[in-house]
Each structure stands twice: as structure tokens, then as C-alpha cells.
Structure 1
């Protein structure tokens, strides 16, 4: 009798430990953020990097995923690190969209900005198109930034850091799809500038880019349109023609975003000249009433991700 009872208990235990179904795995699997603190570089000062892995990364261990690189990484995932106490909640929103099949599963890399943000995100080679007056205005602005603020252009070094140091690290340590079509880059405000600049400078590396509330006045205002025109001149020459890349733009109509529409319309005309087709390999979206802040970008990150990571 005792032997039979032990056998029955063993059978019940084994049955309870049966291999769960894929659905059970999907429910139990968790996404993860890896923290690469003070990531060092030969080109720029150290900064934190956060690598978000969706639960699909763990459910399909033999599958590699696209990688989306995003600037101002401290504002993406956690309100505790966000500069203004509001995060984009990219991890939660992306995971929901992936679970619903609305976007491809992807790794998202958040690159923190530093005190040198302005100059790291300023599209450096656009300066070669500046008029003498534009240069004088920018020199005056740099002086206004005050002691301790770097006044040298740093965008080219920042992109070298991403392309030759950070991306190789991600490709070595994670199951990523390293080719151009699966390497994406995005940011807001001046982060939008550097994202478009990255695609123009490294069209063989980045297949898609998103400029969210792109700060076309180049940290000036509409009283000084020259630098913005210079960046368009640069894009006219350097932006790759359509067929191999995808580009997303958007803007709101309130606070700082209210100054962007006139610039975006001129950029849209340039996109048409380059052969991009609205709704196919390029979109520009207007969000009436949207402000220039994390709350506004959080509210439309689903739209941005659905373009960049279209299944």
C-alpha cells in the first residue's frame, strides 16, 4: 500500500512539472534591461547605455532581432532616470505592440546623453554650408553656453562611437541582425537631427531613421533661418536616394514644436526630390496640439515604432 501511495505521488508530481506550452512560456517570459554603465569610448566621454530585450528574445533563443538605437536613453524606460520625471515608456509600449503582432520583435538600445549633448547632436558637416553671418551667430551662442560647456562640434565623433564601438559590442554580445535593413536609429528634438545625420553619414549602416519633433532651427529659433537652410543643403547632397532607406518625421504645433512646420515642409519637398514616396518609404506626421516634451513623445511612440518596425 505504501509503495502504491508513493507511486501515485510521484506520478502527480511529474504531471505537474510537464513541459509548459508555448502559450505558457509567452506568459511567463519577461523582458529585460541590461545596464552598461559608463560605457567607454576612444571618441567621446563615457556614458550609460541601456539594452532592452523583449520577451521574444528569450522565447526564440535561435532567432536574431533587429536593433533600434535611440538617443537621450535616460528618458526612454524609467521615470527615475528621465530628465523631467516622465519616461517615454518605450519598453512597455514596444512589448505590447510586439505581443499584438503590430511590430517586429527588436532590441532597443538607449544611449544616454551627456553635458555635451548640444554639440554631440549638432550635425557637424552642415557647418561647411554656413554663411559668415551664420557662423558668427553660432559662435555667439556657443559663448552664451558658458564655461564648462563644450563648444567644439562633436557629432562626427559621437557617430564614430556608435558605429565603430557600440554597434560592434551589441552585435557581439546579443543576437542581433547586423545588416543595414535591421539597424535603425531614432531621437527627438536635437536627437532627431543626429538621427537623420547618422543615416546620411552612414547609409551603409542605418536603414531607417526617425526624427521626432526634429529641431530644424539647430538650437536657434526662426529668427535665424540660415543654419537650418545649411542643413537642408547638406541633406540635398548627402541624403541617400529612395529605395534602400526608410525615414520618419513628425512635429506638434505647441511650445517649441510650433516653429517646425515651415522647416518640415521644405524638408518634405527635398524628400520628394530624392524620390521618397509618402506612406511607402517616408512619412511626415503632424500632431495638432502636441507639445515639445516627453509626454507628447510617449503618446505617439506607438506610431513611430509601427513605422520603423513594420512587420
Structure 2
């Protein structure tokens, strides 16, 4: 059963903000970093109490008109994503080489970076705020796309601006549609 709880905390003008931790039924503390409530504007917090592991999902078919290619991407959802469905805006961390981040079966040489282990630990222990990871896979044009200027000695590079345009103008809006809510826009931020 989903219930919406409201609490009012009155901060004096001398206090710019206060940190709080939610206790559920006098028994279970919220997981993650303390919520920071500002005295300058109303705040909404979205606690979660049970999930300690995020999960990732691979999506196919992100088309880039800027680079004229299509690629898959992996999206990591933080631990609270499926527990507290009232929260829809997450800060977003864009990572690259998505096939290498989480899964050895898709990674280069079969060695994944296991980013989910580090993210889960940091989020649950309050070391970082919750973040969703959006990670496009690379393509055969990886060096061209990741390099800002063309290097004639390597005969590669020069599509870095186009790749950034793809990320912000095509990829991020498509992710919001594909996931039904992970976005780095108004409420969320892109890190």
C-alpha cells in the first residue's frame, strides 16, 4: 500500500538548511545520505528503506542523426528506483563504453568494470546522492567520436562535437521516453 506522508520542519532564519533521516514505523531507517532540507524553499524527499542494489538494463536502437549511426545503451537504475516510484527525477551520470560497465558478457575482452558494485556501495552508505547512469555503447568509430580534433597522424578523431550533440540533443530525450522518467532535466542534473 502506497501512502503519502507529509512532515513540516520549521527552520529559523539563522539555519540555512537541516539534515534529516526518515524512520519508518519507528523501526527502519531510510537508506542512503541524509536528506537536506533548505529553509529558503519547500523540499520534497523520497526515502527508501529496503533496496540496497540498483539494476541495469540494456536498450537497443538509439539513433544518432548527428553521427548517422545507431547504438545500444545501458541504463543503471539506483537502489530506490523501483521501491519509491514517486521519485521521477534523478541526477544523471553519463558514462561511455556502456558495454564495459556492468556485464562481462558484453565487455571488451570479457572483463567488465563492475560499476554497479561501486555505485551501490556509495549510494547506500550515503557517500554520493542517488544517480542514474546512462551509458551509450561505443561503435567502430569510437576514436573519431570521443576525440574532439582530427589527428592526421592517426587518421582519426574530429567528431567529438557531433558526439556531444548526440548525447544532449538525441540520446537524453530518447532515454526519458524509453525509461519513462530517468532524466537529467529540470529536476535532475547531468553530471
Give the TM-score range, shorter chain.
Answer: 0.5 to 0.7
For 1:22 and 1:166, locate their aligned partners in 2 and report how far apart those are by CA, in whole Å. Answer: 38
Identify the residue that residue 160 of structure 1 maps to in structure 2. Answer: 165
**Higher RCO (C-alpha 8 Å, min separation 6):** 2
Secondary structure in 2 aligned to 1:141?
Answer: coil
More helix per residue: 1
1:73 alignment partner, one of 81, 93, 98:
98
Taking only aligned residues, the RMSD between alpha carbons, in angstroms, comes to: 2.7
Identify the residue that residue 239 of structure 1 maps to in structure 2. Answer: none
2:61 is the alignment partner of 1:35: no
2:79 is the alignment partner of 1:55: yes
> Does the C-alpha gap of structure 1 residues 119 and 101 become closer, same or farther in structure 2, counting only changes over 3 Å?
same
> Does the C-alpha gap of structure 1 residues 76 and 152 become closer, same or farther in structure 2, counting only changes over 3 Å?
closer
Q: 1:141-290 residue pairs with structure 2 within 5 A?
A: 141-142=154-155, 151=156, 153-172=158-177, 173-179=180-186, 182-184=189-191
Identify the residue that residue 286 of structure 1 maps to in structure 2. Answer: none
* Deviations, residues 166-214 of structure 1 (Å, cap 9, x unaligned): 1112334324341498201xxxxxxxxxxxxxxxxxxxxxxxxxxxxxx
TM-score under structure 2 length normalisation: 0.65
2:138 is the alignment partner of 1:113: yes
For 2:53 and 2:154, locate their aligned partners in 1 and report how far apart those are by CA, in whole Å. Answer: 47
Secondary structure in 2 aligned to 1:56?
Answer: coil
Q: 1:293-304 residue pairs with structure 2 within 5 A?
A: none
Deviation, structure 1 residue 88: 1.6
Identify the residue that residue 115 of structure 2 maps to in structure 1. Answer: 90
For 1:69 and 1:106, locate their aligned partners in 2 and report how far apart those are by CA, in whole Å. Answer: 10
1:26–1:55: 8 Å Cα contact kept in structure 2?
Answer: no
More strand per residue: 2
> Does the C-alpha gap of structure 1 residues 178 and 101 become closer, same or farther in structure 2, counting only changes over 3 Å?
same
> Does the C-alpha gap of structure 1 residues 97 and 116 become closer, same or farther in structure 2, counting only changes over 3 Å?
same
Return 5+ residue gaps in structure 2 as ranges.
Answer: 1-24, 31-47
For 1:22 and 1:46, locate their aligned partners in 2 and report how far apart those are by CA, in whole Å. Answer: 45
Identify the residue that residue 70 of structure 2 maps to in structure 1. Answer: 46
How many pairs align?
145
* Deviations, residues 41-63 of structure 1 (Å, cap 9, x unaligned): 21221111011101211222222
TM-score under structure 1 length normalisation: 0.42
Larger Rg: 1
* Deviations, residues 257-289 of structure 1 (Å, cap 9, x unaligned): xxxxxxxxxxxxxxxxxxxxxxxxxxxxxxxxx
2:172–2:183: 8 Å Cα contact kept in structure 1?
Answer: no
